[in-house]
Amino acid sequence: MLLIHGMKKIDRYILLKYLTTFFFCLILFTAIVVVVDISEKTDNFVKSKLPVSRIITDYYFGFIPRIDAMLFPLFVFISVIFFTSKMAGRSEIIAILSSGVSFRRMLMPFVAGGILLSVVLWMGYQYIVPKANFKWAAFEARYIDGPRAPDANNSNYKQKLYFKMDSFTYVGIRSYDTMLKSGNGFFVQRFKKNKLEYNLRAELFNWDTTQKKWKLLNVAERRLDSISERFTRAPEMFVNYNFKPRDLRKDEFLKDQMPTPELDDFIKLERLRGSESLNMLLVERYNRDAIPASVLILTIIGAVLASRKIRGGSGLHLAIGVIISVLYILFSRFSIVFATKGNFTPFLAAWTPNIIFGILAFYLYKKAPK
């Protein structure tokens, strides 16, 4: 009983050290990043003429979750190495193992902390971070990047859009304003056995927020079969197509701003349309599961590495940790590039770094002095 009670105290001690060090590291690095960001964007904030409260709620409430999620695994890794190295330097690890506790059992509070933080990051990536990205991107587009000319085909104004609505139907748009959710030069063409069977054209169109449908103005419809053609005109028409205003934005941050259920639906539509950006969407989707899993893997690597008492102490442990972190980031970037620009499977692109470093974690654990 005394041994079990003592083990519970050790578990609480290690877990508390883990979490307090992590949150201290998170707050410290976040403060540094925010200070650097403020120094870079002071002129933009002044030109926006917004009060400080609006800048905090409209920009930093989006920026901080975004940057923290991006650096979360790194914060975890540095935190684990730092406090574990301190424990090893004070011979606490040796004392724990000398009391009859196995090395595997000693790692249990590390694993528990890693799982807890993995779940926190996973929940953040599914719902919180996409909303933060939306808030951050909206502020950037309005106050930081500034307005651009309509012919620049930027994130607010699109020209010459052309995409598949399903396997046989194509949609074309001459120009579209993503802010006003309206455009002109709209057409739909549907083919059957490589022959045109339906053609619709509208001079203007916009999204009707009341009916949640597209409103087409000055519409001309043609239905063709092998022997005849039916032509109709209508001053306006409400149509429920399978694409929404968000689908026409097509900016590089769109995938980052969708909660996971919405992203899953969007991926289904893009797969149906045969979109060229499908791999990028799939990599983003798989990363939302893979990156949180990396927290547990890096926790184990950090704990095993830093538990050995060495002459260089915390400094050498942190140096090794930084090198491993850089290698992990490089593997992640290369995998994403090969998936989006080459033929690498998106699932493997997201999970390959975890697989490689999971093997490394197992190897280090086996080689660790027990």
Start-to-end Cα distance in the chain: 24
Which DSSP symbol is given to 248?
G
Has residue 196 been placed in a domain? yes
How would you label 26-52 residue by residue, b for 16+ Cβ within 10 Å and e otherwise? beebbeebeeeeeeebeebbeebebee
Q: Which pLDDT belongs to residue 248?
A: 79
**Of 207, 139, 200, which Cα lies nearest the Cα of 165?**
200
Spatial contact of 119 and 139, defined as CB atoms under 8 Å apart: no
Has residue 151 been placed in a domain? no
Has residue 293 been placed in a domain? yes
**Residue 318 is which amino acid?**
L
Domain final residue, candidates 249, 265, 294: 249
Has residue 178 been placed in a domain? yes
Which DSSP symbol is given to 102?
-
Same domain, 116 and 64: yes
Same domain, 123 and 170: no
Spatial contact of 176 and 157, defined as CB atoms under 8 Å apart: yes
Domain final residue, candidates 227, 249, 271: 249
Same domain, 64 and 86: yes
Has residue 96 been placed in a domain? yes
Same domain, 313 and 216: no
Tell me, yes or no, if the pTM score tops 0.75. Answer: yes
Digitized pLDDT (tens) for each residue of the chain, 370 residues in all: 333 444 578 888 899 999 999 999 999 999 999 999 999 888 888 888 889 999 999 999 999 999 999 989 989 998 998 898 888 888 888 888 888 888 888 899 999 999 999 999 999 999 999 999 989 988 887 887 654 434 444 456 778 888 888 778 889 999 998 878 899 999 999 988 888 899 999 999 999 988 889 999 999 999 988 778 888 999 999 999 888 887 777 666 678 888 999 999 888 888 877 777 788 889 899 999 999 999 999 999 989 888 877 665 566 767 777 788 778 878 777 777 777 776 778 898 889 899 999 999 998 888 876 6
Q: Give strand ranges (E) for 57-181.
A: 157-164, 169-177
- SS3 state of residue 191: strand
For residue 53, count other CB atoms closer than 10 A to its CB: 8
Same domain, 141 and 6: yes
Spatial contact of 203 and 234, defined as CB atoms under 8 Å apart: no
Same domain, 93 and 165: no
> Domain range spanning residue 191?
156-249
Token code pair at residue 40: 């870079």
Tell me how far apart the alpha carbons of residues 154 and 141 are, in angstroms, rounded to a whole number: 10
**Of 224, 181, 220, which Cα lies nearest the Cα of 203?**
220
Same domain, 126 and 196: no
Number of domains in the chain: 2
Has residue 10 been placed in a domain? yes
For residue 92, count other CB atoms closer than 10 A to its CB: 18
Same domain, 127 and 74: yes
Has residue 274 been placed in a domain? no
Tell me how far apart the alpha carbons of residues 290 and 282 are, in angstroms, rounded to a whole number: 12
Same domain, 19 and 83: yes
Q: Which pLDDT belongs to residue 205?
A: 94
Has residue 47 been placed in a domain? yes
Q: Which pLDDT belongs to residue 88?
A: 84
3-state secondary structure 258-311: CCHHHHHHHHHHHHHHCCCCHHHHHHHHHHHHHHHHHHHHHHHHHHHHHCCCCC
Q: Which pLDDT belongs to residue 332?
A: 79
Tell me how far apart the alpha carbons of residues 344 and 353 are, in angstroms, rounded to a whole number: 13
